[in-house]
Amino acid sequence: AQKVTQAQTEISVVEKEDVTLDCVYETRDTTYYLFWYKQPPSGELVFLIRRNSFDEQNEISGRYSWNFQKSTSSFNFTITASQVVDSAVYFCALSGTGGGNKLTFGTGTQLKVEL
């Protein structure tokens, strides 16, 4: 069985602070993919990033960066110099070999960025 755990239910930060959203996953598959999605107040989920299990390189995209560590089964997401527009619910998700492209989602982390 696959499982994604996002232990942080809600995080509040002040604008310009850095913030890290944690994601821990469980899978028996050797080939799998990890994802992050953003759900702003408007409700529509937006794809942010995909990472496969064979690529442990960290990735940076503007103010966003992702740290994938197989040794700890974690795929953490850091926002540098947070902005109010970053306020949203962020979901981590996993797809393994056996389920086609079916995603297992974590319960999400609500990020609130205040002025």
Partner 1 sequence: GAGVSQSPSNKVTEKGKDVELRCDPISGHTALYWYRQSLGQGLEFLIYFQGNSAPDKSGLPSDRFSAERTGGSVSTLTIQRTQQEDSAVYLCASSVMGQGYGYTFGSGTRLTVV
Among 12, 69, 102, 114, binds partner 1 (CB under 8 A): 102
Q: Does residue 70 belong to the site contacting partner 1 (CB under 8 A)?
A: no
Tell me the C-alpha distance between 74 and 67, whole Å.
8
Q: Does residue 106 belong to the site contacting partner 1 (CB under 8 A)?
A: yes
- In the complex, what is the shortest distance from the CB of residue 70 to partner 1, in angstroms, rounded to a whole number? 16
Among 8, 33, 65, 67, binds partner 1 (CB under 8 A): 33
Q: Which residues bind partner 1 (CB under 8 A)?
A: 31, 33, 35, 37, 42-47, 50, 52, 91, 93, 95, 97, 99-108
